[in-house]
Amino acid sequence: MKKQLTLCVNINAAIIIVLSAYALLVPAGMLIRSLRDPCLYSGSQLRCAFHWHRTLSPRYEKWARRRVESGAVAALTTTDIAGTEWPVFGSVFYLWATEALQEAHYMNPTLASSSPQSYARGAITAATELLVDPNHAAWVKEHWGKDYLTKENLFYRMLLISGLTSYQKLLGDKKYEELLRNQVESLACELDASPYGLLDDYPGQCYPVDVLPAIAAIRRADKVLGTNHSEFATRAIRGFEGSRLDENTGLPAYIVDSKTGQAKDSARGVGMSFMLIWAAELWPETARDWYAKYEEQFWQQGKWFAGFREYPKGIDVGRFEFSDVDAGPVIGGYGVAASAFGVGAAKVMGRPDQTYPLAAQAIVAAWPLPDGTMLGPRILSSFSDAPYLGEAALLFAMTRRPFEVSKVIDRGKLPWSVYAGVLLGICLGTYEVLATVFKTRRWHKRKAELNVPAAALQVSVWSLLIIAAVLTWTMLSVWIGLIFLLTAQLIPLRVKLQPKNANLAG
């Protein structure tokens, strides 16, 4: 039985070494290469972004098709944000990122071996089908009734226009053109006719962070439809003036009463970062003014971290707290979503001094695995309802193109957290490999003296765990398979040295 136990120990050691290399050492090496890429601060598209997108695309296609086919989303309630909003928002993030990478490939075909519109055609189609799926609109139908496509419902209609525009631009397919045209015209007219240029996302809830991208979506759709809403866009700035601004910061408030035009909340980092990605292409001068104020009141840089706060510097949110579903975690005042979308805002506004530390931190926090999985965003997403939301959102932010010509030469300094993250991965990976080698060598040296209770039973349990790991990993879930695999590492249990007199008696 010692031979079988030795086989268990050897295989377990090989598993730990491979996992350590796969999850820690190789990613650390990939991060070092990515952090040395000049595109990280030049405004050009990162080559690694194409790799991440290419590996994400078949997974996104498979997930989106299964979700639409299941129809289970129709039974979810409006309180289940992760189950209702996130799949739709994530699909639009994916389409936005794909569109940006395709444009980059047009300009420089050497960035990838094939174009995103070619290798991702299936995923583009699947993401769009999820977007227009009636079951995935059940939550907004519950809010707005049968008029959900013609009455307010701004957030969903903004996503619909954005996704359909990207689809038609990428594939040249006019399948959804009538729906796209109807939404563009009706939403533009409704916004224009509203008292303050604002509409509600949900009844009684108006978020300017969604209104501004909706205006940008209408203008982007013009290029596909051949329409012209430039005069509408010029008038639409009224939704972001006067009492719609946070009086303390001079920036658009996060929540506004669309009927009275009065701000109901302060400006917030997640809202400003996302709006600034789109504002420059609508109102360049206003965007410059907003970014200057945003930088002054929200940008925070220390030795360890650099990023945008979720609330202005005068508002203390504590050292660590979880904020709402939009902002994500708020740590030491830094907003995770504000800083992630801040990568895109800084790129658009031509600020390499801020793009560089923000993007570097985002890449390290994402911890990309060799298969293209971005571990950090995947963990922060909903495994059951929107497993790829985080990865799609980060790709969206990382693939924005500069609208402003950079006037800043300094690329900025990397916070210590970037170096610490890479170093931690190297140290942990090296430790696990060396510790495993040492432990295995010690087993081989002393196996004749070791006593393993119920050895046959332990070998049987170990074999079942390995088989279960392989089956679940390949057929069900990598995460469940990993749990079985790590559980197998506990065997052999309760290994003891045999008493010396027992050997003498033998």
| Measured distance CA(117)–CA(169) in Å, rounded | 10
State the pairing for strand pair 320-322/306-308. unpaired
The answer to whether residues 64 and 100 touch, using CB atoms and an 8 Å cutoff, is no
Shared domain for 287 and 167, answered yes or no, is yes
Coil, strand or helix at 120: coil
Cα angle at 457 between 453 and 458, to 5 degrees?
Answer: 70
Q: How many domains does the chain have?
A: 2
The CATH number for 167's domain is 1.50.10.10
| Measured distance CA(164)–CA(154) in Å, rounded | 15
- Nearest Cα neighbor of 398 from 424, 422, 420, 365 is 365
**pLDDT (average), residues 376-396:** 91
**pLDDT (average), residues 347-374:** 93
Shared domain for 374 and 492, answered yes or no, is no
The answer to whether residues 370 and 27 touch, using CB atoms and an 8 Å cutoff, is yes
Shared domain for 331 and 394, answered yes or no, is yes
Q: What is the pLDDT of residues 417-474, one digit of tens each?
A: 999 999 999 999 999 999 999 999 988 888 777 777 888 888 899 999 999 999 998 8
From 359, 379, 414, give the residue that closes a domain: 414
What is the gyration radius of the CA atoms in the chain, in angstroms? 26
Alpha helices for 299-447 (secondary structure H) = 336-348, 352-366, 375-380, 389-398, 416-446
Predicted confidence at residue 496, as pLDDT, reads: 66
- Nearest Cα neighbor of 75 from 66, 63, 65, 83 is 83
Q: Is 401 exposed, middle or buried (0-12, 13-18, 19+ CB in 10 A)?
A: middle
Q: Which residues pair with 306 in a beta bridge?
A: 301
Predicted confidence at residue 447, as pLDDT, reads: 77
Contacts of 31-37 with CB under 8 Å at 24 or more apart are 31/363, 31/364, 31/367, 31/368, 31/421, 31/422, 31/425, 32/422, 34/363, 34/368, 35/360, 35/363, 35/364, 35/414, 35/418, 35/422
Tokens of 466: 């390995």
| Measured distance CA(333)–CA(301) in Å, rounded | 11
Shared domain for 386 and 452, answered yes or no, is no
Q: 32 in a domain, yes or no?
A: no
**pLDDT (average), residues 399-415:** 78
Predicted confidence at residue 249, as pLDDT, reads: 94
Q: What is the pLDDT of residues 179-209, one digit of tens each?
A: 999 999 999 999 999 999 999 999 999 999 9
From 390, 414, 438, give the residue that closes a domain: 414
Domain that holds residue 375: 37-414
Residues 6+ apart with CB under 8 A from 147: none
| Measured distance CA(499)–CA(492) in Å, rounded | 19
Q: What is the pLDDT of residues 116-163, one digit of tens each?
A: 999 999 999 999 999 999 999 999 999 999 999 999 999 999 999 999
| Measured distance CA(20)–CA(369) in Å, rounded | 11
Shared domain for 199 and 107, answered yes or no, is yes
In 10 A of CB 88, how many CB atoms? 26
Q: 119 in a domain, yes or no?
A: yes
